[in-house]
Amino acid sequence: MRLVLLGPPGAGKGTQSVILAKQYKVPHISTGDILRESVKNGASLGLKAKSYMDKGELVPDDVVIGIAAERLKMADCKGGFILDGFPRTLKQAEGLDEALKGIGSGIDLVLYFETGEQVAITRLTGRRVCRKCGFNYHIKNIPPKKEGICDKCGGELFQRPDDTETTVRNRLVVYEQQTKPLIAYYEKKGVLKKVSGDLDVQELNDVLSKVFSEAQLV
Ligand code: ADP
Ligand code: ZN
């Protein structure tokens, strides 16, 4: 199964990706995660990316296309992959097409997580992340047992610098302007499938199982 997850920040792409990767045993590729890892390691890529990320702007296309293309060449992607948060611009979508052609592959399905703006804002501003294991919580929807502490590993929870309300609003504007055109791009290719990102985690996962069996991907 070779999937692209498309939708605004806060649509739940990351959450579903983690579950789907386990269910269908394919790697979850998040350009956001890869970039944050580089920031954490102090890699030169991270230094370049951080200023964009903190403002909620997109990291330049050539940088993320390079990251994704390298990752897709790795052996574990042979049996499929879930791309989460890439592509985000038309230029990136074209870069992805090129990269996949280069490895004799293609996309089976683009899932578009259609999500209301208020739902996205509430989810993102309430999100807390474990500093140690990266697990995502939400102060209301998925609270940890003990405030500020990860249930899974005891790590400290923190708010991503780009999850503050002002930056979240900017990310949504960036999404409208730069990413939304991808809906038409993939519709034209006949691979787009719209689902509701407003559903809760389990409901959406059930919907996706049906979509995959209908598309004969499982
Ligand atoms: P979200 O989907 O919730 O916005 P991500 O973790 O996917 O969060 O991305 C966080 C930030 O990383 C983005 O705001 C952007 O700066 C950068 N980023 C991630 N993926 C891309 C991409 N494909 N193109 C450009 N920038 C990206
Ligand atoms: Zn943890």
Please report whether residue 149 resides in a domain.
Answer: no
Take residue 145 and report the two structure tokens written for it: 């047992």
Please state, in angstroms and rounded to a whole number, the distance separating the CA atoms of residues 201 and 16. Answer: 7
Ligand 1 lined by 96 (C-beta under 6 Å): no
d(CA 16, CA 197): 10
Q: Tens digit of pLDDT for each residue in 7-32?
A: 999 999 999 999 999 999 999 999 99
Pairing mode, strands 109-114 and 28-30: unpaired
Q: What residues have a C-beta under 5 A from ligand 2, the ion?
A: 130, 132-133, 135, 150, 152-153, 155
The pLDDT value given to residue 176: 97
205 belongs to a structural domain = yes
Residue 75 lies in a domain: yes
Summarize the confidence of residues 43-59 as an average pLDDT: 94
Query: What is the DSSP code (8-state) at residue 12?
Result: S
> What pLDDT sits at residue 90?
98
Decide if 160 is inside a domain: no
> Count of CB atoms within 10 A of residue 184's CB?
11
Q: Is residue 162 in some structural domain?
A: no
pLDDT digits (tens, 9 = 90+) for 111-152: 999 999 999 999 999 999 999 999 999 999 999 999 999 999
Residue 5 confidence (pLDDT): 98
Nearest of 96, 42, 40, 37 to residue 64 by alpha carbon: 96
Q: Does ligand 1 come within 6 angstroms of the Cβ of 123? A: no
Residues 143-180 have pLDDT tens digits of 999 999 999 999 999 999 999 999 999 999 999 999 99
Query: What spacing in Å lies between the alpha carbon of 153 and ligand 2's midpoint?
Result: 4
For residue 157, the CA-to-ligand 2 centroid distance in Å is 8
85 pocket-lining for ligand 1 (C-beta < 6 Å): yes
Task: Quickly count: other Cβ atoms within 10 Å of residue 204's Cβ.
Answer: 21
CB 63 near ligand 1, within 6 Å = no
Kindly state whether residue 202 falls inside one of the protein's structural domains: yes
User: Ligand 1 pocket: which of 45, 53, 180 to mutate (most atoms <8 Å of CB)?
Assistant: 53
Partnered with residue 105 across adjacent β-strands are none
| Domains: count for the chain | 1
Structural domain including 101 reads 2-116+179-214
Predicted confidence (pLDDT) per residue in 63-83, tens digit: 999 999 999 999 999 999 999
pLDDT band at 52 (very low <50, low <70, confident <90, very high): very high
Ligand 1 pocket mutation, candidates 58, 63, 70, 127, criterion most atoms within 8 A of CB: 58
Whether 197 lines ligand 1, by a CB cut-off of 6 Å, is no
Structural domain includes residue 164? no
What CATH number does residue 55 fall under? 3.40.50.300
In a domain, 161, yes or no: no
Other CB atoms within a 10 A radius of the CB of residue 190 amount to 7
**What one-character-per-residue DSSP string does 146-160 give?**
STTB-TTT-PBEE--
Tokens of 94: 């074209």
Residue 95 β-bridge partners: none
For 180-212, the pLDDT digits (tens) are 999 999 999 999 999 999 999 999 999 999 999
pLDDT at 20: 98
Q: Which residues form the catalytic set? A: 13, 88, 127, 160, 171
